[in-house]
Protein backbone atom coordinates (compact mmCIF):
# COMPACT_ATOMS: atom_id res chain seq x y z
CA UNK A 1 0.00 0.00 0.00
CA UNK A 2 1.15 3.53 -0.77
CA UNK A 3 0.21 6.86 0.74
CA UNK A 4 -0.69 10.08 -1.03
CA UNK A 5 -1.64 13.67 -0.38
CA UNK A 6 -4.27 15.26 -2.65
CA UNK A 7 -4.69 19.02 -2.52
CA UNK A 8 -8.11 20.57 -2.92
CA UNK A 9 -9.46 24.11 -2.91
CA UNK A 10 -12.21 23.91 -0.28
CA UNK A 11 -14.20 26.60 -2.13
CA UNK A 12 -14.39 24.26 -5.15
CA UNK A 13 -14.52 20.80 -3.56
CA UNK A 14 -13.44 20.28 0.02
CA UNK A 15 -13.37 17.39 2.45
CA UNK A 16 -16.93 18.17 3.68
CA UNK A 17 -18.12 17.72 0.07
CA UNK A 18 -16.41 14.33 -0.09
CA UNK A 19 -18.01 13.37 3.24
CA UNK A 20 -21.43 14.28 1.84
CA UNK A 21 -20.83 12.49 -1.49
CA UNK A 22 -19.06 9.48 0.13
CA UNK A 23 -17.09 8.92 -3.12
CA UNK A 24 -15.94 11.00 -6.05
CA UNK A 25 -13.84 11.06 -9.18
CA UNK A 26 -10.69 13.09 -8.46
CA UNK A 27 -10.24 15.24 -11.54
CA UNK A 28 -8.85 18.59 -12.56
CA UNK A 29 -5.19 17.56 -12.28
CA UNK A 30 -3.10 19.06 -15.10
CA UNK A 31 0.50 19.23 -13.84
CA UNK A 32 2.61 16.50 -15.53
CA UNK A 33 4.28 15.42 -12.26
CA UNK A 34 0.94 15.35 -10.43
CA UNK A 35 -0.57 13.30 -13.29
CA UNK A 36 2.35 10.85 -13.08
CA UNK A 37 1.69 10.50 -9.34
CA UNK A 38 -2.03 9.97 -10.00
CA UNK A 39 -1.16 7.18 -12.48
CA UNK A 40 0.84 5.48 -9.69
CA UNK A 41 -2.12 5.39 -7.27
CA UNK A 42 -3.38 1.86 -6.65
CA UNK A 43 -6.70 0.58 -5.35
CA UNK A 44 -6.55 0.50 -1.55
CA UNK A 45 -3.92 3.25 -1.25
CA UNK A 46 -4.64 5.79 1.48
CA UNK A 47 -4.98 9.51 0.78
CA UNK A 48 -4.78 12.62 2.95
CA UNK A 49 -7.05 15.40 1.69
CA UNK A 50 -5.35 18.77 2.13
CA UNK A 51 -7.18 22.09 1.90
CA UNK A 52 -5.38 24.89 0.09
CA UNK A 53 -6.34 28.57 0.25
CA UNK A 54 -6.77 30.20 3.64
CA UNK A 55 -6.89 26.89 5.54
CA UNK A 56 -3.65 25.21 4.39
CA UNK A 57 -4.28 22.10 6.49
CA UNK A 58 -4.65 18.33 6.37
CA UNK A 59 -8.36 17.65 6.81
CA UNK A 60 -9.32 14.02 6.31
CA UNK A 61 -8.61 10.57 4.94
CA UNK A 62 -9.77 8.81 1.80
CA UNK A 63 -8.96 5.65 -0.11
CA UNK A 64 -8.38 4.95 -3.79
CA UNK A 65 -11.24 2.78 -5.13
CA UNK A 66 -10.40 2.87 -8.85
CA UNK A 67 -6.97 3.30 -10.38
CA UNK A 68 -6.13 5.93 -12.99
CA UNK A 69 -8.24 6.03 -16.15
CA UNK A 70 -8.70 8.65 -18.88
CA UNK A 71 -10.71 11.67 -17.72
CA UNK A 72 -14.09 11.30 -19.47
CA UNK A 73 -14.42 15.12 -19.53
CA UNK A 74 -11.18 15.56 -21.51
CA UNK A 75 -10.21 14.68 -25.06
CA UNK A 76 -6.54 14.17 -24.11
CA UNK A 77 -5.87 10.55 -22.97
CA UNK A 78 -2.91 11.83 -20.88
CA UNK A 79 -5.41 13.53 -18.57
CA UNK A 80 -6.34 10.92 -15.97
CA UNK A 81 -8.54 10.67 -12.90
CA UNK A 82 -8.91 8.24 -10.00
CA UNK A 83 -11.95 7.40 -7.89
CA UNK A 84 -11.78 7.80 -4.12
CA UNK A 85 -14.07 7.18 -1.16
CA UNK A 86 -14.12 9.01 2.14
CA UNK A 87 -12.73 7.25 5.18
CA UNK A 88 -12.95 9.82 7.98
CA UNK A 89 -12.05 13.33 9.05
CA UNK A 90 -8.81 13.69 10.98
CA UNK A 91 -9.27 13.99 14.74
CA UNK A 92 -7.31 17.23 14.51
CA UNK A 93 -6.46 19.12 11.33
CA UNK A 94 -2.72 19.67 10.85
CA UNK A 95 -1.65 23.00 9.39
CA UNK A 96 1.09 23.57 6.86
CA UNK A 97 2.86 25.71 9.48
CA UNK A 98 2.89 22.73 11.87
CA UNK A 99 4.35 20.50 9.15
CA UNK A 100 6.99 23.07 8.18
CA UNK A 101 7.98 23.47 11.85
CA UNK A 102 9.22 19.86 11.98
CA UNK A 103 12.67 19.27 10.47
CA UNK A 104 11.65 15.68 9.60
CA UNK A 105 9.47 17.14 6.84
CA UNK A 106 12.18 19.24 5.15
CA UNK A 107 12.22 16.83 2.17
CA UNK A 108 8.40 16.41 2.03
CA UNK A 109 6.93 17.54 -1.29
CA UNK A 110 4.28 19.57 0.56
CA UNK A 111 7.13 21.74 1.88
CA UNK A 112 9.47 21.55 -1.14
CA UNK A 113 6.97 21.75 -4.03
CA UNK A 114 4.07 23.86 -2.78
CA UNK A 115 2.29 23.93 -6.18
CA UNK A 116 2.16 20.13 -6.64
CA UNK A 117 -1.43 18.89 -6.21
CA UNK A 118 -0.87 15.10 -5.96
CA UNK A 119 2.17 13.86 -4.09
CA UNK A 120 3.51 10.71 -2.49
CA UNK A 121 3.83 10.44 1.28
CA UNK A 122 6.40 8.05 2.71
CA UNK A 123 5.31 5.58 5.37
CA UNK A 124 7.43 7.43 7.96
CA UNK A 125 5.87 10.77 6.99
CA UNK A 126 2.39 9.23 7.07
CA UNK A 127 2.93 7.84 10.58
CA UNK A 128 4.21 11.19 11.82
CA UNK A 129 1.31 13.09 10.21
CA UNK A 130 -1.21 10.67 11.72
CA UNK A 131 0.40 11.14 15.12
CA UNK A 132 0.22 14.94 14.72
CA UNK A 133 -3.47 14.57 13.77
CA UNK A 134 -4.22 12.50 16.87
CA UNK A 135 -4.87 9.31 14.89
CA UNK A 136 -3.92 5.84 16.12
SS3 helix, strand, coil % of the chain, rounded to 5? 30, 35, 35
Residue 82 pLDDT: 98
Residue 136 pLDDT: 79
The CATH number covering residue 8 comes to 3.10.590.10
pTM of the model: 0.97
Q: Is the dihedral of CA 20, 25, 31, 37 positive or negative?
A: positive
Structural domain boundaries, residue 35: 3-132
Strands 3-8, 118-121: pairing kind: antiparallel
Backbone φ and ψ of 130, nearest 5°: -65, -40
Are 8 and 86 in contact by the 8 Å Cβ rule? The answer is: no
Residue 45 pLDDT: 98
pLDDT tens, 5-26?
999 999 999 999 999 999 999 9
Are 5 and 119 in contact by the 8 Å Cβ rule? The answer is: yes
Total domain count for the chain?
1
Give the C-alpha separation, 125 to 38, whole Å.
19
Are 85 and 62 in contact by the 8 Å Cβ rule? The answer is: yes
pLDDT tens, 46-94?
999 999 999 999 999 999 999 999 999 999 999 999 999 999 999 999 9
Give the C-alpha separation, 130 to 123, whole Å.
10
Amino acid sequence: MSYWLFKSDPDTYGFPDLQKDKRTTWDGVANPVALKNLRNCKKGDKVIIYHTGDEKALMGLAEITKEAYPDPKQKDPKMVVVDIQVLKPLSKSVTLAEVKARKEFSDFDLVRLPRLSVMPVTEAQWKMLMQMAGEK
